[in-house]
Structure 1
Amino acid sequence: MAKEILAMRDLEIPQNVEIKLEGNRVIVKGSKGQLEKDFSHMKGINMEIKDNKLIVQAFFADAKKKAAVGTVVAHVKNMIIGVTRGFRYKLKIIYSHYPISVKKDGNRLIISNFIGEKSPRYAIILPGVNVKIQGTDIILEGNDIEKVSQSAANIELATKITDFDRRKFMDGIYIYSREVVE
């Protein structure tokens, strides 16, 4: 496979967003806060801001470097969406055997009476994620997509069961919606 001399992607910076570069560390500021991410582990990737655009490039790029350029641009896009609008994940509490009760306690979610268990199960909620419990819905909101999605995955994994037939026993908490806050 031949190497490309210059793999380059650019990203338009919106008016209400400020992006600052410190080496390969990107800091994005917007109306909903600030996010920063370190890309120094991606060797051979250069970033610069020119004419209100973030330019990500790699010289003599093989397939891995080309993919890394696209990955950096995708991460920065998500950071821009996060600081301007935010992300929302919705989960549904589903039970047919024992009613599940859920409450927030600091940085964790306590899931009680899951499949009739006496001891509660816990799910870690990462910092910067807001949790709202409305009946059988759990709504997670935040500006960092990685923290919001990982918190949703933690809740879903806390109620994962393996010893029952999934076609008949569907009790648990499941993600049903991923969206950008309007």
Structure 2
Amino acid sequence: MVNWKDKMELKIPEGISLDIDGTVINVKGKLGEASRNFRDKYVKVYKKENSIIIAVSKENKFTNGIIGTWYSELKLVFHGVSNGFKYEMKIDFTHFPMRVSVRGNELHVENFLGGKAPRIAKIKNCKVSVKGDRVIIEGIDKRDMGDTAANIERATYIKHFDARVFQDGIYLLKGVNPDEL
């Protein structure tokens, strides 16, 4: 028989409902729904009244790291479904004017460094809009928003050029401040 010890407790904020199905936690809030799969042999998560308890069966550096990671993930999910997240990226060009547009689940960058073929970045479960020289990414899942921002930066990456001279591209300007959570 495994002896589980409660290690960390996280209060469930008002207006958020939570459902635990095995190792998957589904969180619903006013902005939408997000889920995470927390699977480990020595660490488990369960609901107790209006809070979530993270418990361990074996205590060491490895499990303590998992506890902190899961605590942070749950905090981010709670913040995302109740308040949402917002990233701001800047379109920067000095040589050729770029045309940036959103088409379905893709961001198209045309005339990048005078190229004829558009560069395409995939958008993953978030809302992307272009306003002037800014690209705004909004959503409830910080992972998906980070993937989208990375896809956009990767689409405008310049190989074999001096980055100090050719500073054209789309770069992350403002992200999520952890102190605001």
TM-score (norm 1): 0.91
* Structure-2 separation of matches of 1:143 and 1:61: 33
The letter for the 1-side match of 2:19 is K
Q: Is the 8 Å Cα contact of residues 111 and 122 (structure 1) preserved in structure 2?
A: yes
Counterpart for residue 55 of structure 2? 57
Aligned length: 176
* Structure-1 separation of matches of 2:152 and 2:52: 35
* Structure-2 separation of matches of 1:47 and 1:38: 10
Counterpart for residue 85 of structure 1? 83
Cα displacement (A) at 1:7: 6.5
* Structure-2 separation of matches of 1:67 and 1:121: 39
Alignment pair present for 1:8 and 2:7: yes
Counterpart for residue 68 of structure 1? 66
Cα displacement (A) at 1:179: 3.2
* Structure-1 separation of matches of 2:117 and 2:63: 48
Counterpart for residue 138 of structure 1? 135
Q: Is the 8 Å Cα contact of residues 27 and 34 (structure 2) preserved in structure 1?
A: yes
Unaligned runs of 5+ in 1: none
Structure 1 SS opposite 2:80? helix
Structure 2 SS opposite 1:55? strand
Structure 2 SS opposite 1:179? coil
Alignment pair present for 1:37 and 2:36: yes
Q: 2:147 aligns with which of 137, 147, 150?
A: 150
Counterpart for residue 18 of structure 2? 19
Structure 2 SS opposite 1:81? helix
Query: What's the % identity of the aligned pairs?
Result: 34
Q: 2:174 aligns with which of 164, 174, 177?
A: 177
Q: Deviations over 1:82-108 (max 9, x none)?
A: 100001111100000000111111111
Q: Is the 8 Å Cα contact of residues 88 and 141 (structure 1) preserved in structure 2?
A: yes
Counterpart for residue 108 of structure 1? 106
| Coordinate RMSD, CA, aligned | 1.8
Unaligned runs of 5+ in 2: none
Counterpart for residue 125 of structure 1? 123
Cα displacement (A) at 1:60: 1.7
TM-score (norm 2): 0.91
* Structure-2 separation of matches of 1:68 and 1:113: 45
Q: Is the 8 Å Cα contact of residues 11 and 54 (structure 1) preserved in structure 2?
A: yes
